[in-house]
């Protein structure tokens, strides 16, 4: 998935601009692959206690971390991380808008 997203990055430039996610830096293929791998690992680790059919330590045919009693805690972690992500994104957008407005309002040197 990291390689696919790396190849499609140019197709999403207009969406990135719309969401104020663009950067001047070129992101490397290694960054995309590392992000995809880390996301996959975290997803499997968060799902492993919830579902007995997930095998996080394959080829071991049992899920030793299966514990459905952890469901409220895992869902709470997801909700709180999502909320923190939205707050962080809103702060970045606010900062970006503030910088653009302050540049327009700044007196030009004469």
Binned at pLDDT 50, 70 and 90, residue 106 comes out as: low
Q: Which tops the pLDDT comparison, 25 or 61? A: 61
Cα 81 to Cα 94: distance, rounded to the nearest angstrom: 20
Query: Exposure of 54 by Cβ count < 10 A (0-12 exposed, 13-18 middle, 19+ buried)?
Result: middle
Binned at pLDDT 50, 70 and 90, residue 37 comes out as: very high
Asked whether 34 and 6 are in contact (CB, 8 A), the reply is no
Q: Which tops the pLDDT comparison, 76 or 27? A: 76
Strands (E), 1-110: none
**108 pLDDT higher than 70:** no
């Amino acid at each position: 998935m990291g390689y696919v997203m790396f190849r499609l990055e140019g197709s999403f430039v207009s969406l990135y601009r719309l969401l104020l996610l663009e950067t001047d830096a070129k992101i490397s293929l290694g960054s995309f692959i590392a992000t995809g791998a880390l996301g996959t690992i975290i997803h499997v680790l968060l799902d492993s206690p919830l579902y007995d059919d997930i095998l996080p330590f394959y080829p071991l045919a049992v899920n030793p971390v299966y514990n459905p009693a952890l469901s409220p805690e895992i869902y709470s972690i997801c909700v709180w991380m999502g909320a923190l992500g939205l707050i962080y994104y809103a702060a970045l957008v606010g900062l970006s808008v503030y910088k653009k407005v302050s540049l327009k309002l700044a007196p030009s040197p004469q």
